[in-house]
Amino acid sequence: MFLETIMTPSDLKKLTFDQMERLAQEIRSYLLEVVSRTGGHLAPNLGVVELSIALHYVFNSPQDKIIWDVGHQSYVHKILTGRREELKTLRQFKGLSGFPKRSESVHDCFETGHSSTSISAALGFALARDLKQEKNSVIAVIGDGALTGGMAYEALNHAGQLGTRLIVILNDNEMSITRNVGAMSGYLSRLRTDPLYHRSKEDVREVLQRIPNIGPKMFKAAERFKDSVKYLLVSGMLFEELGFTYLGPIDGHNLRILNQVLERARLLPGPVLLHVKTIKGKGYPPAEKQPNKFHGIGPFDLKTGKTRPRRVPTFTEVFGKAVIKIAEDHPELVAITAAMSEGTGLCEFSRRYPRRFFDVGIAEQHAVTMAAGLAQTGCLPVVAIYSTFLQRAYDQIVHDVALQNLHIIFALDRAGIVGEDGETHQGVFDLSYLRHIPRMTVMAPRDQSELVAMLKSSLKYSGPIAIRYPRGSGPQEEVDYRLPVLPFGRGELLREGEDLVILAVGPLVYQALEAAEQLSMKGKEAAVINCRFVKPLDEELILEWSNRTKKVITIEENVIAGGFGSAVLELLADRGFNGEAARMGIPDSFLGHGAPDLLCRSIGLNAAGIIDLIKSKGWLDS
């Protein structure tokens, strides 16, 4: 077993190519053994086994900097940099992160998680190196999906102009999470497959020279239009025009070729783009066949590739069904995703309404402003973007949507604690980054049926509307799709009580009810309000019960700073409230990875935490 001999990248350099090929097989088996138990991003990592080995063979991390775009494909890098054993704790509470983490290793030089950041970061490393007159290499590994993110072009544009030494490795497996989209994807596939694109200028000269009489003249004429010749016949013209030396496309599973071309790239003076062709899920037939399913997967049966069936409908599934039902009666409704059609539940919608479905690629900013154009022209866009990824489009929401007061429905999936994806993916800022935007409506359903009601109600409201809901199954096994339109801005009194009031947002309502039951057994009666609207607040209901009990607790799956609780404190302060209030939510720090209930418990964001808070305030005794 060569795998056990690899503790640092330098151990790799002792191996022959044949031994490295054996190592690649061992790594694949190990990935399958571990990820089938822990869950994780299996297919992306199976696709970069040889590339990761070759990178650490040719370059000298940590002196040479390797930045993994998105970073979901960094498990092999972690195995090669001394974390083979810790991989067994992958994505578990206090275990190894599923993304690069500087606290884990010096070889993780930059943290990623959101897409398309690697080239910008790499350019930063390269420029700092140049300023310090150092000589190390800087490498960004970016996927074809991540290359649909606009930030990548901002960086390519800048790097190409500066001409600094930088290596961008385009890991092209023709997949984002689902099949890749966009004109760039089409260009890359031509680079991969069209023989014409593989010819060099010399080949063209030879071909044209063979044509008697006119051949040489043609070549001279073509020479004059060198761009067209270069564009037509030299591979990777787009990148060359941006100032990069384009190498490839090469087989990303051939260690000898990888090592040879990486060695060449290492010695080139300016920015280089190496186009590498890989197979997402390579080496595990179920993943090769369904790279989307195995992009990010829960624990699964290695023999069958099957995951544990889920009984309770997820918020995502309910959203997907409800938006189709609504679309049947509203031809103006269009649905938009940013490369997350499966994750947001829009696949069936895309099949039913292909002309009313848009997958923009990993381009959240573009998605929002395109929605603004659609809304301005009579469509009703439903923009389904994870809470964390919508952070990318904050200014577009303010500048292109709210300012023009456009009627757009933002479906914020994965809002709240997502769990195993950790800090970069927790959807815990949206209540804070949305509620202060003028004209914005912000809602949070307590369960799947209320999500349906909010979607339907949003048709009757005006302006920009955000509905935020969590990852995974909701509390209901049966969903009622017939709920009536909700009264705008109104909360729901779920329980009366004279001793205190708990104002809860989303599914945390059920933790509040649980706490109220426990308090009742201690002789205290808590009122519980389902605060469906984070903006506008139901001021009347909140003030009534705050003044009545004089003790207020707010609880939300959002950072405490600037969230729902802050909005309530602002209201109470403005209205001269003279009681006591306490906020519960995510503390002012980044929440790591682990199972959501463990993470909630770790910060007391549950019924027990509510009781503990009440005890700490001495409210049980008063």
Ligand X SMILES: Cc1ncc(C[n+]2csc(CCOP(=O)(O)OP(=O)(O)O)c2C)c(N)n1
Residue 583: contacted member of ligand X, Mg ion, ligand DXP, none (CB under 5 to 8 Å, by partner type): none
CA distances for 615 relative to 503, 556, 611, 618, 620, angstroms: 18, 19, 6, 5, 6
Residue 20 within binding range of Mg ion, rule CB under 5 A = no
Q: Quick one: tokens of 463?
A: 């302006």
Which of 169, 434 has the CB closer to ligand X? 169
Clarify whether 165 is annotated catalytic: no
User: In the complex with ligand X, which residue's Cβ is closer, 222 or 340?
Assistant: 340
Q: Shortest gap between Cβ of 238 and ligand X (angstroms)? A: 17
Q: Which listed option, ligand DXP, ligand X, Mg ion, none, makes contact with residue 100 (CB within 5 to 8 Å by class)?
A: none
- Close Cβ partners of 204 (under 8 Å, ≥ 6 residues apart): 219, 222, 229, 233
Question: Catalytic: which of 50, 111, 342, 364?
Answer: 364
Residues that bind ligand X (CB under 6 A): 44, 47, 70, 72-73, 114-115, 143-146, 171, 173, 175-177, 280, 295, 338-340, 362, 364, 389, 392
522 SS3 class? coil
Exactly one of 28, 83, 91, 280 is catalytic; name it: 280
Residue 144 touching Mg ion (CB under 5 A): yes
173 is in an annotated binding site: yes
CB of 355 to ligand X, least distance (A): 23
Query: Terminus-to-terminus CA distance in the chain, angstroms?
Result: 67
Q: Which of 91, 165, 392, 524 is catalytic?
A: 392
**DSSP class per residue in 364-420:** HHHHHHHHHHHHHTT-EEEEE--HHHHGGGHHIIIIIIITTT---EEEE-S-B---T
Given the DSSP bridges, would you call strands 492-495 and 526-530 parallel, antiparallel or unpaired?
antiparallel
CB of 268 to ligand X, least distance (A): 24
Give CA–CA dist 166/265, Å, rounded: 9
How do the residues of the chain divide into helix, strand and coil, expressed in percent and rounded to 5? 45, 15, 40
Least spacing, CB of residue 144 vs Mg ion, in Å: 4
The interface partner of residue 73, options being ligand X, Mg ion, ligand DXP, none and the CB cut-off 5 to 8 Å by kind, is ligand X
Interface residues with ligand DXP (CB under 6 A)? 41, 70, 72, 295-296, 343, 414, 418, 421, 471
Per rule CB under 5 A, is residue 145 in the interface with Mg ion?
yes
Tell me how far, at minimum, the Cβ of 26 lies from ligand DXP, in Å.
25
Given the complex with ligand DXP, which of 406 and 418 has the nearer CB atom? 418
Q: 202 among the known binding-site residues?
A: no
The residue among 582, 585, 606, 603 whose CA lies nearest residue 594 is 603
- Is position 77 annotated in a ligand binding site? no
Choose among Mg ion, ligand DXP, ligand X, none what residue 535 binds, the Cβ cut-off being 5 to 8 Å by kind. none
Residues 6+ apart with CB under 8 A from 568: 503, 537, 542, 552, 554, 581, 583
Q: Please count the other Cβ atoms lying within 10 Å of the Cβ belonging to residue 324.
A: 18
Question: Which one-letter amino acid corresponds to residue 456?
Answer: K
Residue closer to ligand DXP by CB (options 298, 331) is: 298
Q: Which does 146 bind (CB under 5 to 8 A by kind): ligand DXP, Mg ion, ligand X, none?
A: ligand X
Alpha carbon distance 364, 367 (integer Å): 5
Q: Which is nearer to ligand DXP, 104 or 251 (CB)?
A: 104
User: Beta-carbon neighbour count of residue 524 at 10 Å?
Assistant: 20
Q: Is 114 labelled a binding residue?
A: yes
- Does the annotation mark 392 as catalytic? yes
Nearer to ligand DXP, 464 or 506 (CB): 506
373 is in an annotated binding site: no
136 labelled binding-site residue: no
* Of the candidates 348, 341, 400, the residue with the CA atom closest to the CA atom of residue 374: 400
144 marked as binding residue: yes
CA gap 428, 589 in Å, rounded: 11
Helices (H), 136-236: 150-162, 183-193, 201-209, 214-224, 226-233
Q: How far is the CB of 296 from Mg ion (least distance, A)?
A: 13
Identify which of residues 36 and 173 has a Cβ nearer to Mg ion in the complex. Answer: 173
Is residue 276 within a helix (H) or strand (E), and if so which, with residue range?
Answer: strand 271-277
Residue 50 binds to Mg ion (criterion: CB under 5 A): no
The set of residues, in sequence order, having a beta carbon less than 8 Å from that of 57 and lying 6+ positions away, is: 9, 12, 13, 15, 20, 259
What whole-number distance in Å separates Cα of residue 557 and Cα of residue 584?
9
Distance in Å, CB of 64 to Mg ion, minimum:
24
332 is catalytic: no
Residues contributing to the site for Mg ion (CB under 5 A): 143-145, 173, 175
Task: Name the residues annotated as catalytic.
Answer: 280, 364, 392
Which amino acids are annotated as binding site, given as ranges?
72, 113-115, 144-146, 173, 284, 364
Residue list, annotated binding site for thiamine diphosphate: 72, 113-115, 145-146, 173, 284, 364
